[in-house]
Structure 1
Amino acid sequence: MTGTEAPVLDRLLDRSIVGGYTNIGYALRRGHWPADPAEGALAGRRALVTGAGSGLGEATALGLARLGATVHLLGRDPDRVRPAMARITDRLRQEGREAVLHAEGCDVADLAQVHRFATAFAARLAENGDALDVVVHNAGVLPSTRTTSPDGHELSLATHVLGPVLMTDLLAPALRRSATGARVILVSSGGMYTQPLPLADPEYRQGSYRGAVAYARSKRVQVEIVPHLAHHLEAENVSVHVMHPGWADTPGVAASLPAFRLLTRPFLRTSAQGADTIVWLAAAQPPPPGGLLWHDRRPRPFSYTTATTATEADRDEIWSWVRAAVAGTPAA
């Protein structure tokens, strides 16, 4: 028990889906959840946010900068995040705050690019004696047809699992320099509750490909490897968390799930509401326990049915598969 388990009503909201994942759940819970991080909680700290050009990534970068962090916004191209940087800077100036933001470029689905970026980024920080205190793996894709990364991996899996694991590995030297203990946060999706761990076919080579299913399957893998990733980094004084934001109205949802957005738009969370738990996990004191799945500042079960429940042996198997998939990735 962590002392932060959800009360009965909160758990019932999750089971109802609509009650828990929409702005209804956010409104009902916010008066009873753990306290906000203190003003300036991230002053002097440094964060990297992937997929930061809009939506949850932009909202996360804004929340971290508002708490005083220096934030590196990463997109496939640095120019893709500069408009978000301008919006964040303007917003904070209106609040009487200053922002320290940097644009970074890397396609997290391309493992060679990840290797080059993360190695160079960690070296750049080391040259200046800087640490990396927070990494938020938020970049996401939902392809309509089966698409592969430059390395030949199914694109959702490469973006949500393989790229983040490799990047975290390569950023470990910078993370271990954090004076307060670094935090790595993976942004998952409540859709993963619909899928079991795809041990027999992680690359979705079999059957009729559906983008939403591929997305949910990759998010299931993402969640199930978190205990292993947390253990892997424990000796580095780095905690690892995974969260799902509920249903948020983001550009990604509008582009990939237009029918869903049309039906649910009155109940969708804002990007800031969806990003709330990311920012809280990055800054809360005392530090939240690692290796858990969070939603609305509370730990949540990995599964709600036996059909989607993974065993420890299942997690060991998929972790071994992921480690093998990213091993020996070249920098060129």
Structure 2
Amino acid sequence: MTMVGAFFDDLLDRTVVLGYSRLGLAVRQQLWRAPELPAGALVGRTVLVTGANSGIGKAIATELAMLGATVLMTVRDRARGEAARHHVLTVAPAADVAVEVCDVSHLAGVRSFAADLLSRHSRLDAVIHNAGVMPEQRTESAEGHELSLATHVLGPVLLTELLRPALTPAARVVLMSSGGMYTQAIPVDDIEYRRGHYRGATAYARSKRIQVALTPLLARRWPELMVAAMHPGWADTPGVAQSLPGFRRVTRPILRTSEQAADTAVWLTATNPPPESGRFWHDRRIRPTHYLPTAHDDDAQVRQVWQYCAAAIGV
């Protein structure tokens, strides 16, 4: 990207509305000047995608299948997973696509799932942690953790830890974050969101901030892997329609499609050489992790949150 292109790209990012919408993606695609991912880019590779039954997750699974990957569509509900698999196969009839069942918020279930998966798959080339929740009221997982934290942080970290024996050198680990994380600081003193009035959108953004804050630490912990957090922009997905109907009503004309929102996750998984590990991405480019002074964190805070999460998952 040229210096002028980078300037306009940064400007889009700071405007938020333009940068996160389909308009921003359209402009950036003109700036990339990069070749499309080659056909067959993922032939021979196996990729696990959580939350793959709808929205961005289903779009990611579809794109990966079209690139030749064996795709493990990991969902909570098998029937919905099979329906999503049928959709993928209508687009990529020759694809190797399987449905796996795991609730990533349930840590004991994650352990059982990982053990079973390792007994059947000796090689994994990427894990895309896309599963997401935004409960209206404070809800706890089976182990008593706030549900957004369990789904977006604890479960994904534990699952990756357990799958490391099968992950190939330079395998990709992608955490689906959110631009909403820019509004939140690390909740060091209230990681489980027990204080104050609970808001699902705030819990979601807090957990996504934790994802991004932990990404460099996880990259150091898993040096053999490429670890990335990314955000997809604003997308018109079933999750947004259900959890943020007012936002969707106002922004729907400029929201990205699920396929557009899936682009960077697919690119991080398929591009070669592997992108730099430990970074935060949006629209195929490394982005700042902070814009607001009130949301800045330091190494001590990140270590404190990591120590809590590590103890919670038992690593």
- The TM tier, using the shorter chain, reads over 0.9
Q: One-letter code of the match for 2:142?
A: P
- Tell me the CA shift for residue 322 of structure 1: 1.0
CA separation of 1:263/1:319 partners in 2, compared to 1, >3 Å: closer, same or farther? same
- Tell me the CA shift for residue 5 of structure 1: 12
- Tell me the CA shift for residue 36 of structure 1: 2.5
Q: Which residue does the alignment assign to 1:58?
A: 58
Q: Which residue does the alignment assign to 2:146?
A: 154
Three-state SS of the structure 2 residue aligned to 1:246 is: coil
Q: Is the 8 A contact 2:170 2:274 kept in 1?
A: no
CA separation of 1:316/1:72 partners in 2, compared to 1, >3 Å: closer, same or farther? same
**Aligned pair 1:195/2:184, yes or no?**
yes
Task: State how 1:140-219 maps to structure 2 within 5 Å.
Answer: 140-175=132-167, 178=168, 181-219=170-208
Q: One-letter code of the match for 1:27?
A: A
Q: One-letter code of the match for 1:280?
A: W
Q: One-letter code of the match for 2:196?
A: G
- Tell me the CA shift for residue 271 of structure 1: 0.2
Q: Alpha-carbon deviations, 1:154-174, whole Å to 9, x = none?
A: 000000000000000000001
- Tell me the CA shift for residue 123 of structure 1: 2.1
**Aligned pair 1:105/2:101, yes or no?**
yes
RMSD, aligned α-carbons: 1.7
Task: State how 1:280-299 maps to structure 2 within 5 Å.
Answer: 280-299=267-286
The whole-number CA distance in structure 1 between the counterparts of 2:35 and 2:225 is: 22
Task: State how 1:36-51 maps to structure 2 within 5 Å.
Answer: 36-51=36-51
Q: Alpha-carbon deviations, 1:205-251, whole Å to 9, x = none?
A: 001100100000000001100111111110xx211001000000000
**Aligned pair 1:120/2:116, yes or no?**
yes
Q: Which residue does the alignment assign to 1:229?
A: 218
Which of these residues, 313, 324, 331, is aligned with residue 300 of structure 2? 313
The whole-number CA distance in structure 1 between the counterparts of 2:150 and 2:4 is: 32
The whole-number CA distance in structure 2 between the counterparts of 1:122 and 1:288 is: 26
Q: Alpha-carbon deviations, 1:298-324, whole Å to 9, x = none?
A: 000110122111112221111111111
- Tell me the CA shift for residue 6 of structure 1: 7.6
**Aligned pair 1:269/2:261, yes or no?**
no
Three-state SS of the structure 2 residue aligned to 1:38 is: coil
Greater mean alpha carbon deviation, residues 32-41 or residues 185-194? 32-41
Q: Is the 8 A contact 1:42 1:68 kept in 2?
A: yes
CA separation of 1:174/1:325 partners in 2, compared to 1, >3 Å: closer, same or farther? same
Q: One-letter code of the match for 1:223?
A: V
The whole-number CA distance in structure 2 between the counterparts of 1:5 and 1:146 is: 46
- Tell me the CA shift for residue 4 of structure 1: 11
Which of these residues, 127, 132, 135, is aligned with residue 135 of structure 1? 127
Three-state SS of the structure 2 residue aligned to 1:31 is: helix
Q: Which residue does the alignment assign to 2:28?
A: 29
Q: Alpha-carbon deviations, 1:258-300, whole Å to 9, x = none?
A: 1110100000000000000000000101111010000000000
Count of matched residue positions in the alignment of Structure 1 and Structure 2 = 314
Which of these residues, 200, 203, 209, is aligned with residue 220 of structure 1? 209
CA separation of 1:148/1:250 partners in 2, compared to 1, >3 Å: closer, same or farther? same
Off by >4 Å, runs of 4+ in structure 1: 3-6
The whole-number CA distance in structure 1 between the counterparts of 2:117 and 2:35 is: 33
Task: State how 1:73-92 maps to structure 2 within 5 Å.
Answer: 73-92=73-92
Q: Alpha-carbon deviations, 1:84-136, whole Å to 9, x = none?
A: 1111100124xxxx11000000110000000100121012113xxxx100100
- Tell me the CA shift for residue 50 of structure 1: 0.1
The whole-number CA distance in structure 2 between the counterparts of 1:146 and 1:110 is: 16
TM-score under structure 1 length normalisation: 0.92
Q: Is the 8 A contact 1:51 1:57 kept in 2?
A: yes
The whole-number CA distance in structure 2 between the counterparts of 1:6 and 1:206 is: 44
Task: State how 1:241-280 maps to structure 2 within 5 Å.
Answer: 241-280=228-267
Three-state SS of the structure 2 residue aligned to 1:135 is: strand
Q: Is the 8 A contact 1:4 1:299 kept in 2?
A: no
- Tell me the CA shift for residue 80 of structure 1: 2.1
Q: Is the 8 A contact 1:59 1:275 kept in 2?
A: yes
Give percent identity, aligned residues only: 53
Q: Alpha-carbon deviations, 1:59-89, whole Å to 9, x = none?
A: 0001111111000001013222111111110
Structure 1 stretches of 5 or more lacking a match? none
Three-state SS of the structure 1 residue aligned to 2:121 is: helix
Q: Is the 8 A contact 1:6 1:299 kept in 2?
A: no
Q: One-letter code of the match for 1:109?
A: S
The whole-number CA distance in structure 2 between the counterparts of 1:224 and 1:6 is: 28
CA separation of 1:4/1:59 partners in 2, compared to 1, >3 Å: closer, same or farther? farther
